Amino acid sequence: MHVSLQRAHGSHSEASGVVLSVAVDKHDLDSPCSVILPHSEIQETYRHDLAPDASITITSCGGAGGRGGWGGNGQGGGHGTDGLNATDKVSGTNGGPGGDGGNAGDGTSGANGGSGGIIKLVVKEEDLDLLVAMEHPHVQGGQGGKAGANGNPGHGGNGGRGGSAYTA
């Protein structure tokens, strides 16, 4: 972020006599910018009257991290074994129980918060006395994203079918 401070020409405050012309250029770059003055198309320019509290505060905060991904649901349990059919000598057997459902997937961690960035302050030599009114710039990283929710456990498998009855 580039910030340029200078006395505004042609205006002053009755209370303090100092009105600033402030140019702020918030541009996102992968590497530090080598250009000194605000220069992008998205720069904002406005006036700041020092009269209310006679101070200048500059802050830069990174963006919040994204939310983590949701965990997958567990897989359903396997089908139970089928029972044996009855014969003229033996009764049929019951089917076996279905398999347990699979474990739920874990949600992933949230993304890291954005970097607070770098503040470049530009003040002309004739306006250096303005730095007396300026608080130390505050740079803060963004808040990390929330973790994703865990998935649901898988449902149990169906039991096996019972053996058929013997008929003569």
Note the pLDDT tens digit of each residue in 1-19: 777 777 777 655 555 567 8
Look over the chain and give the mean of its residue pLDDT values, rounded to a whole number: 79
pLDDT at residue 28 is higher than 70: no
d(CA 156, CA 134): 66
Q: Are 9 and 45 in contact (CB under 8 A)?
A: no
CA-based Rg of the chain, rounded to a whole angstrom? Answer: 35
**Would the pTM count as exceeding 0.85?**
no
135 phi and psi, to 5 degrees? -75, 160
| pLDDT at residue 94, as a whole number | 85
**Strand 59-61 with 138-140, pairing:** parallel
Q: What is the residue-wise DSSP string for 47-115?
A: EEESTTTS-B--EEEPPPPPPPPPPPPPPPPPPPPPPPPP-SSS---PPPPPPPPPPPPPPPPPPPPPP
Instruction: Output the pLDDT for position 52.
Output: 59
